[in-house]
Amino acid sequence: MLSLQGTVQKSEMGAGTWALVASTGETYEIHRGAPQELLQNGLKVQVEGTVRQDVMTMAMIGPVLEVKRFEVIS
């Protein structure tokens, strides 16, 4: 399980793609099916999840992060 802090951003790569830009700089692609409350541009969150090594996407913006839990910071 991965725990990281970051900002949710709407991605320019393909319709309906959302990114989590971690405070350390890496960009993760938020796996489809994440709760709507998470998918808000600019939302700062603390997230727990796993990187899906078995999933590939058309957006290709970074590792695919399946969010298990999240907490809004601001």
Partner 1 sequence: MKRLLLAALLGIGLLLALANAPNLGAQGTYDSIALDFQETLTDAQIQQQVEAIAQRYHVTPQLNSAFSAADHLYVVSGNARLLKLLRHSDLRQSTESIDPNYIYQAFEIPNDPDYSKQWNLRAINMEAAWHQTKGSGVTVAIIDTGVTVVPDLKDTSFVPGYDFVNDSTDASDDNGHGTHIAGTIAQSTNNNFGVAGIAYEASLMPLKVLSQSGGGTVTDIAEAIRFAADHGAGVINISLGGGGDAAVMQEAIAYAHDKGVVIVAAAGNGNSNAAAFPSRYPNVIAVAALDASGVRAPYSNFGAGVDIAAPGGVIDGENAAGGILQHTIDDETGEPVFRAFQGTSMAAPHVAAVAALIESVGIKDPDTVTAILQQSARPVPDDALNHYGAGQLDADAAVKLAQQDHLDVKDFLRWLRDSGYLNLRFWVDGGAVALLPKLGMVLGSYLLAWLLRRYVPVLSLSLGAGLIAGSSGLFPLRGFYIFDLPQFPFRVLGSSIPELGGAIGGSAALNPLFASVLIPFMLVALLLGHPQWKWVAIGSCLGVAVCLAVSAIGSPQVLWLGSGAIARSYLLVNALLCFGLAKLGAQAS
Contact between residue 31 and residue 52 where contact means Cβ atoms under 8 Å apart: yes
Smallest gap from Cβ 30 to partner 1, in A, equals 11
Q: Specify the residue, 47 or 65, whose C-beta has the smaller distance to partner 1.
A: 65
Return all residues near 25 (Cβ < 8 A) that are at least 6 apart.
none
Smallest gap from Cβ 26 to partner 1, in A, equals 8
Ranges within 5-64 binding partner 1 (CB under 8 A): 12-17, 27, 29, 31-32, 52-64
CA dihedral 58, 31, 38, 36 (to 10 degrees): 80
Per CB under 8 A, residues contacting partner 1 are 12-17, 27, 29, 31-32, 52-64
